[in-house]
Amino acid sequence: MATKKIAAKLSIPKGIVAAMEVDTEVSANVTAQINKILPVNSTSGTRTITPPTTTQNGAWFGVVDSRNKFDTQNCVVNFSADNKLQTSSSPLTLSVEGQCAIFVWSGVPAAGWLRIV
């Protein structure tokens, strides 16, 4: 999926789009990469994506439903006590068709990632 297409889908400001890089689509459970959007194909089953680890303020990663299947085969972003989402240690389930999510590292391990989209 092209960067511009994803950006439009996410309503991401143009200033941020300039820095976006789209990763290779995956059909397996993988670890997302820093500063990339990961297209996830869940056509054949649910997927679990592990958030990357970082200490770099402003680092980000994203996940996008590249085959519009998250409503039937969910994508779980596996946040944990060691890698939190907005202070929560619970995994985040993406379950909306075509859903995208982008997370920015807060710089504070106790808070972890901030979901901005």
Residue type, 70: F
CA dist., res. 52 & res. 34, Å (int): 6
Interface residues with another protein (CB under 8 A) are 11, 13-16, 18-19, 57-58, 86-88, 104-108, 110-111, 114-117
Cα dihedral 64, 98, 96, 13, rounded to 10, equals: 60
Cβ 17 vs Cβ 9: under 8 Å: no
Q: Which is nearer to another protein, 30 or 59 (CB)?
A: 59
> Locate tokens 């993988």: which residue?
30
Q: Which is nearer to another protein, 68 or 89 (CB)?
A: 89
Q: Which is nearer to another protein, 2 or 110 (CB)?
A: 110
Q: How far is the CB of 17 from another protein (least distance, A)?
A: 10
Q: How far is the CB of 108 from another protein (least distance, A)?
A: 4
